[in-house]
Amino acid sequence: MVALVLCTAARESAGQTELNVQLTRVTPEFSGFIRVQGGRFVDAACSVFPVVGLNAWDLMESGAGILPHGGALQSGAFLDGVQYTMQAAAAAGLTVVRAFGHGHDLENHLILQPASGVYNETAFRGLDYILHQANLNGIRVLFTLADNWKTQDSKTNFVRWAGETNLDAFWWSPTVMELYKRHIDVMTSRVNTYNGRRYKDDPALFGWDLINEPRCNCFPEILPPQSEWQTLEASCNVSCADALSGWVWEMGEYLKGADPNHLVTVGSEGFWASRAWQAFLYNPGNFGTPTQLSWAALTGQNFTAQHNSPHIDFCAAHLWPDRWLPLLGWNTAFFNAWVDGHAADCALLGKPFVLEEFGKNVTVPVTPAGIAAERDPAFQTTYAKLLASLASNGTFQGALFWKWALSPPADPTDGLEVGMRDSTFLSYIAPSARAALDTARRASVPGCQPVSPVVKPVPMVPGGATPAAVGAYLPPENATGNLPIQTNSFQTTAGNGSFKASAGTEAAGEAALSATPAAAPAASGVLQAQPVGSAGAGALVSGG
């Protein structure tokens, strides 16, 4: 055990009495890479590994020295949000931190890949620092490789760089897919400037999401009867879902070849397509009335089929009832059906299931009373179900809440943010994480064979840059991505011929794509899609 004391203060609303909270690190030391054996997560020694953690999508920006909204940490005990996050997670008994491995920031414009094949070294060093602090504190990191939504580093960029004008070309264009494979090469072979390890050789990395919340570009303003679905745009056709499934298979295979050490999952919200019987029972919009398919069946996701790939190691889904079912909000019956339905399918696949995003919005401005009334019951229900599943060797083996506050006081204007002082964290998250660790220590996986926890050292590359064969890097002074850049070009050969991606290729699709909104507004409000992170109640958009 490594003793670690975190001190923070919370003021009671009436007496203004300061309450000091002390936590001691309980996360175990690393033992090799995490893998799946017998449908369970285990480490190199075959010790069961409970996946209990948090989402911090803005961690790259913090690691690069750009704090969200220009704010500053209000605790002098920590250098930055990354160190604070990893130490707090270790103290609480959390094991996994999920972070956007490409950034999300729309204010400061910190872009990891501002042009095709060009990488921002300052942004990359932010990711380096995340893994560095994870190593120091015994935390594993789950990185997303890109974002489906129109953030700074999203699938939109890859489509533009390839000169395509159809956003769904991301799922089927050979040129786009080759660009994405080159991105995978850069990410997995990146040499960390803090420890000299390539990402693919770092045990602090838990695994990869192929992409955050993959979807076809299907956002009909008004959903017609199912008999008229053929009149919808091509993005809503089942062929797009098939293309997305093919993309998952191909990219999963490529990623596992580039990095065989780490786990891979899709990163999807977990919807089922129109041809899957589960769509009638579990998709949001069908719950309680399983006779007419809802918008979720048109997203291109097909949970079971897409997680059936042999290159996908574990199943993952998200849960956003506030966004998907704004009239119901958090509903325990829907929650149980959603988790049980996914877990049952994952059991048939022989893979563990992780709820890698879940959250509950609190009416702003956020107050302790609001947290206790609106959020705490949802988290209590989630962790109770997880702990019961872990104790019974069930398929539901992990949950990562959304979203962590990068400083002890959470933002009172963000109803989804969970701070270390919140009752949600002190009464439910931390105790549940410790209980999960206790359960894991008593568990065993029959037939699991220990492996040597080998970590391959890699000589440091000056400046921490990956060899130039897989891309060029912006110098640190271009940290924000706002300064003029030189886009390098590279030649590669695909299975059906060769192509060249260069600075000129991104212009062709720019006009068409810039005029295409990420989601069309709904005339009736039934299918209104909100931008990511907005406080509205759009049915189509998730939290991450």
Catalytic residues: 213, 357
User: If you search the block for the tokens 């797009």, which residue do you land on?
Assistant: 240
Torsion angle defined by CA atoms of residues 337, 340, 343 and 344, in that order, rounded to the nearest 10 degrees: -100
Q: Residue 472: which H helix or E strand, with range?
A: strand 472-474
CA angle 393, 142, 301 (to 5 degrees): 80
Helix (H, G, I), strand (E, B) or coil at 224: coil
For the chain, how big is the Rg over CA atoms in Å? 22
Helices (H), 260-412: 278-282, 303-307, 321-324, 332-349, 368-370, 376-391
CA–CA distance, 342 with 319 (Å, rounded to integer): 11
Rounded Cα distance, 471 and 502, in Å: 12
Instruction: Give the closest residue to 330 by CA, choosing from 271, 280, 284.
Output: 284
Give the whole-angstrom CA distance, residue 17 versus residue 281. 49
Task: Tell me the C-alpha distance between 506 and 491, whole Å.
Answer: 15
Check: CB of residue 454 under 8 Å from CB of residue 32: yes
In a 3-state reduction of DSSP, which class is residue 361?
coil
If residue 423 lies in a helix (H) or strand (E), which one and from where to where?
A: helix 423-423
Token representation of residue 459: 């000589």
- How do 315-319 and 263-265 pair as beta strands? unpaired
Length of the chain: 544
Q: CA angle, 445 as apex, 440 and 449 as ends, to 5°?
A: 120
Tell me the DSSP string of 113-124: -SBTTEEEHHHH
Q: Which amino acid is at 9?
A: A
CA neighbor of 340 nearest in space, from 355, 326, 330 = 355
| Closest to 178 in 3D by CA, of 123, 251, 112 | 251
Beta bridge partners of 354: 316, 398
User: Which pairs with CB-CB distance under 8 Å and at least 24 residues apart come from 10-17?
Assistant: 10/421, 13/367, 13/368, 13/369
